[in-house]
Structures are given as C-alpha cells and as structure tokens.
Chain A
Amino acid sequence: MIAQTSHISHTVRPARPAPERDPAWIGRLFWLTAAMVIMWPLLVATEFKPWILFDAQSRKSTLRFLGDFFPPVVNLEFMTMVAKETWRTVAVATAGMALALVLAIPLTLLSTRALSVSALTGRMATMPFVFRQAIRFLLIMLRSVPELVWALIFVRVVGLGPTAGVLAIALTYGGMLGKVYGEILESGDAHASTTLMRSGASRMQAFFYGLLPQNAAEITSYTVYRWECAIRSSVVLGFVGAGGLGQQLDNSMKMFNGGEVATILIVFILLVALADRVSYVLRREIG
C-alpha cells in the first residue's frame, strides 16, 4: 500500500490539474476494511440485529405503543399525580445532594494535600500521607459503585421508597464531590493558605481565610452542575423502586399505557430543560 502511494506521488507533476479521483483512496479502503473486521466481533457480542426492529411482530407492538402516545393523558387526576411525583424527583435529588455535601466536606478536608502541615516543609510525613490516601480510596470506592447499584442494595434494606434513592445519591455523589473538591483545592494557588499556616494559623483558619475564598466560585459552580445531574439520576433511580417520576414511568410502561408514558416523558424533558437552564444561569452568575 505504502509503495503504491509513493509511486503515485512520484509521477504527479506540479503543472497537472488537481486529480479527479481521491489520491488517498487505497489507504481509505484499507482502513474501512480494517474497521469492519474489528467491528464484526462487536456486532456479534451485542446481538446486533437491526432487522428484528422491523419484523411484523415487533413492528406491530411498537406502532401500537407509539400510536397510544397520542393524545398524551392530561386529565386532572393524572396531572396532579405527575406534579407530585415531579416534586418528589426534585426533592430526592436535593436531599441526596445535601447529604452528599455532609459526607463530602469532612472527607475533602481530611484528604486534601493543600491543608497538610508537614508538607509545608518538603515532603508530607508518612502517616498523614497514608491516612490521606486511605480517605481517597474510600472516596473512589463510594464513587465507583453506580448510584443504581446502591439503590438496588438500599431498596433491599430499607424497602421501596425515596429513602433508598436519597441514600444512593448521597453515597455516589458524596464520593464524586469529595474527589473533585479535593482536586479543585489542590489545583489553585496555594500561596495564601500556606502563608497562613506558616505564620501559625490553624488548618481551619487557613481553609476559611485562604483556600475557601479563592475556590468558592468553582466549588459552588461544580456543586450546582452536580445537582442538575442528580435530578437526572433521581428519575433513573425510580426504575428500581425509589419513587418519583421514574417509578411512574416504569409502571405506565409495564401496562403499555402509551398516553401516560408520553405525558411523563414530556414532563421529564421539561424538568431536565428547566434544571439545565437554572444551573446555567446560576453558574453564569457565580462566574
């Protein structure tokens, strides 16, 4: 392939007009074939059979389900229920975020290198280093378990309902916030806080007067962004029985009630758009 390409480029004279055909077509053909060869096992592993979307049985049930979408159910009783569940979704996300903060803030303070006294003079001492790494590992563990899995576990322990959702969001988001807060604190200019600590301020004083004012905007803006994400996951958590819009959506879907599914989906899209907007405006204000 390479030999052929160089051969072509060798024979092209500068005065000739631009070639009609793509000069690199052999290379493109090769990569296309290679991609197909790599794709093949993927298609097998994922049982990728697009034609089953169009066989008679599946087409009939899909069309019936989609046909049911119109008109969406908008009677008063259903809409009241949807409004209540929407609030629940927001409340689960907000309560979960509040608990996540309760978890994340102390863990951040314990794990951030920016508040190490021994690191002021050269390397951090061994024990504090091990302790910080241990807290960091805990944060990674909390974050690595997806919130849906936490919810599945808590639904077993505390039963169906919003408690499982709140706890799931609190643990996963606590881990995420803790890790990112730590990174934000360490990435900023450490001059103010280290000077404070060098001249005898306590770690908390160095945090409140040095680190926090410097990084407050970034931390707040990240928290608001995560709250927006929490609303989205709170809907998903409903699918495993944690209440809110997700659970209603799951119920309506299991009963093949297209009209109700359509209404809930529209409300959900509006909710996400609203959260997106609020979060955008707040983050712009915070700057």
Chain B
Amino acid sequence: MNTPPSIPSSQPFFSARCRACWFVAGLVALIALSFWSLDLAWSSFFSMDAVASMGRFVGEFFPPDLSSAFLLKVWKGTVETLAMSLLGTIIAAFIGILLALPASSIRQAGQASSFVYVMRLPTRAFLNVLRAIPELVWAALLLISAGLGPFAGTLALALHTSGVLGRLFAEAIENAPPGPAAALQAQGVSNTRIFFYATLPQVLPQLMSYTLYRWENNIRAAAVLGVVGAGGLGQLLSFHMGLFQMSKTATVLTAMILLVALVDLTSYATRRILSR
C-alpha cells in the first residue's frame, strides 16, 4: 500500500476542491432524495406482466395503417404542424422585436429614451414570464378563449417564442456597435429612423439566425402541442391513442419522428454548408 498523498497547503486550490466536494455531495443527496420520495413503480415496470403488456402494446402497432385516406389525414396534420410552427415563429419575431426595443438598454438615444429606460425592467420581467411558461401550458390556457384547434397552438407558440426571441433580440441590439447610430444621431435624425437605418441593418443577420433556430425548435414543439387539443399531428396522436386505434397511432408516430428527424437533418446539413 502506498501512502495517500498529503493535502496541498496552498489555500486557493483547497477551497476550490472543497466547493467541488460540496457540489458533488449536494448532487448525490438531491438524486437520492428524488428516488426515495417518488413512489416509482419499478416492480410493475420490470415484472413479467409489464414486459408482456409492453410487448402486446408494441405488437399492436403493427401493421401501421397505410390506407390512402388515413395517410392523407396524416399529411394534412403534418402540413398543419408546419404551418403552426412557421406562423407562430413569424408572429413571435414581430412581437419579439417590439418588446426587445424597450428591453434593450440604449440610454443615450435622446429624450424619449428616458421613458424607454424606465420601461426596461418591467419589459424584461414580462419577457421572462412569457418565456417561463412552456408552449404546452400556454396552449392549455388559450383553449379557453381560442377554442380547440391549430389557432390556439399557433398563439401558444407565438407567446412562448416571443419571450425567448425578445430576450435574444434585446441582447443583440445592446451588443450592436454604436457607431452608425451615433453618427445619425449627431445629424439630428429621429429615433425611429436611427433604428431602421442604423441599428436594424446591423443586427438583422443575427436576428434572422435566432429566428430560424427557434423555428426549428417550434416544429418539434408544434408536433406535440395537439396532445392538449391544439391542432397538428399531436391532436391526431392523442385522438387515436385515446381510442386505442394502435395501427393509426403507429402511422402518426412514424410521421412525427420522420418530421423531427428531417428537420434535424436539414438544420445539420445547412449548418455544415454555411460553416464550410
């Protein structure tokens, strides 16, 4: 047995190590508490009974319903999902930029900005609330006023995404180089024009790439929003699963996975091409 290494006496290394120890200990405790406090049904999951029911469940998926009438329905659901995600993202981009203006702290832009500067914190808080509530929860809340269907889903996507985009846009605007705006301001150009002719052209590429990135996320989100009744493929899925029509469920599931995989592949390929 070799002797354990002595603890180094240098202070910073020791304290850093101890913080890491605390972090790990806290993590282990959190995980242990989580497993202990949840009444997890492992026995029923690993029992022969569960394996059999899982097998039966998967077996019922085959053969998937590939009749042309149903495929047409699934196709319509897919188009609806894509349309929801696209429209939701477009609306969110507009709301996002409207909210990003008061949320970004450009103080030196003349007299009107003192009011804008006061609005900064409330707008940021509002953006955080929009962002904190997931799309699905927004959809469930909106069902009351917008009714069942893709409209509620589109609005839900738009609300959550405008929270996300608003924050990203605000950061982009804050980080834009101030030169062109200052030059126009020195000429006495109004704030609106400064925004449209100096700030916006500078940050537009970044805003576009954020928006595209969120669109990609939103396609994935739109696919499942229908589970609470907000249109798209998810609505077909929960409808047919609720009726235990497993062969139809299998078709919808396949369409969903293909859609998500296709989006992933496209974005991966685009990134590869753009970064080359």
Contacts and interface: CB of A to CB of B under 8 A. Distances in A.
Given A149-B256, A239-B140, A272-B132, A46 B264 contact: no
Contacts of A109: none
A250 interface: yes
A41 B224 CA distance: 22
Interface string B201-240: 0000000000000000000100110011001001001100
A91 B220 contact: no
A98 B134 contact: no
Contacts of A282: 23
B1 interface: no
Q: Bin chain A's interface residue count.
A: 35 or more
Contact of A43 (B50, B87, B227, B257): B87
A158 B44 contact: yes
Contacts, number: 159
Interface string B111-136: 00000000000000000110011101
Nearest to A265: B133
A239 B143 CA distance: 14
Contacts of A268: 132-133, 137
A217 B177 CA distance: 31
A156 B57 contact: yes
Given A88-B38, A91-B38, A253 B140 contact: yes
Q: Is the interface of B mostly helix, strand, loop or mixed?
A: helix
B80 A45 contact: yes
Interface stretch (B6-14, B98-106, B149-157): B149-157
Contacts of B253: 145, 149
B219 to A, nearest CB: 11
Interface in A157-211: 157-159, 161-163, 166-167
| 10 shortest interchain CB distances as A-B pairs | A45-B83, A91-B34, A62-B145, A94-B34, A272-B132, A95-B34, A46-B150, A148-B224, A269-B132, A163-B41
